[in-house]
């Protein structure tokens, strides 16, 4: 779905919630191949049994990628990603965990370039037990309405 929501249209404390997505072993395996990160925490099931969590866990970069994708259900034609800040991986995500995301508008401010503003979303990713697994701030560069 395409929309045009200008800087002035976006309200502090607006909340969106995504659907759920299951993290599969294939997601982790493909990410390892693409990134070159074959650390045993992600790939070696037998080694993981000797560690505190006892099983393979997803790369943090898998989780942020999927979380961001889950929030991308609406395309705002007058907004684009400006960056991500304060990314934290709070809990591990394991094979067959189902994650979902909430995105809450936390801040709005003018950008140094006239005609634009910065909108900050608090992105929180949860597992199927409603436990926080990842959090970050998503910065959006958003067009202002023409004056």
pLDDT given for residue 19 in this prediction: 96
Q: Which domain holds residue 8?
A: 2-143
pLDDT bucket at 73, cuts 50 / 70 / 90: confident
Q: Is the pLDDT of residue 104 over 60?
A: yes
d(CA 52, CA 37): 20
Mean of pLDDT values over 121-135:
98
pLDDT given for residue 147 in this prediction: 53
CATH number at residue 130: 3.10.129.10
Tell me what percent of the residues of the chain surpass a pLDDT of 90.
Answer: 93
d(CA 54, CA 46): 9
d(CA 82, CA 120): 10
pLDDT given for residue 74 in this prediction: 81
Mean pLDDT value across the chain: 95
pLDDT bucket at 25, cuts 50 / 70 / 90: very high
pLDDT given for residue 23 in this prediction: 98
Q: Domain count for the chain, please give it.
A: 1
Q: Is the pLDDT of residue 66 over 90?
A: yes
d(CA 138, CA 82): 8
């Amino acid at each position: 779905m395409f929309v045009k929501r200008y800087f002035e249209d976006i309200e502090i404390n607006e909340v969106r919630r995504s659907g759920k997505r299951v993290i599969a072993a294939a997601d982790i395996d493909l990410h390892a191949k693409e990134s070159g990160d074959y650390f045993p925490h992600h790939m070696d099931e037998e080694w993981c049994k000797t560690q505190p969590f006892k099983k393979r866990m997803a790369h943090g970069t898998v989780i942020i990628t999927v979380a961001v994708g889950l929030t991308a259900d609406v395309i705002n034609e007058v907004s684009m990603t400006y960056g991500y800040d304060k990314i934290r991986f709070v809990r591990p995500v394991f094979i067959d965990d189902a994650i979902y995301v909430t995105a809450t508008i936390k801040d709005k401010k003018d950008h140094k370039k006239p005609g634009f503003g910065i909108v900050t979303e608090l992105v929180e990713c949860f597992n199927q037990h409603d436990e926080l697994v990842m959090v970050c701030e998503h910065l959006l560069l958003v067009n202002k309405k023409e004056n």
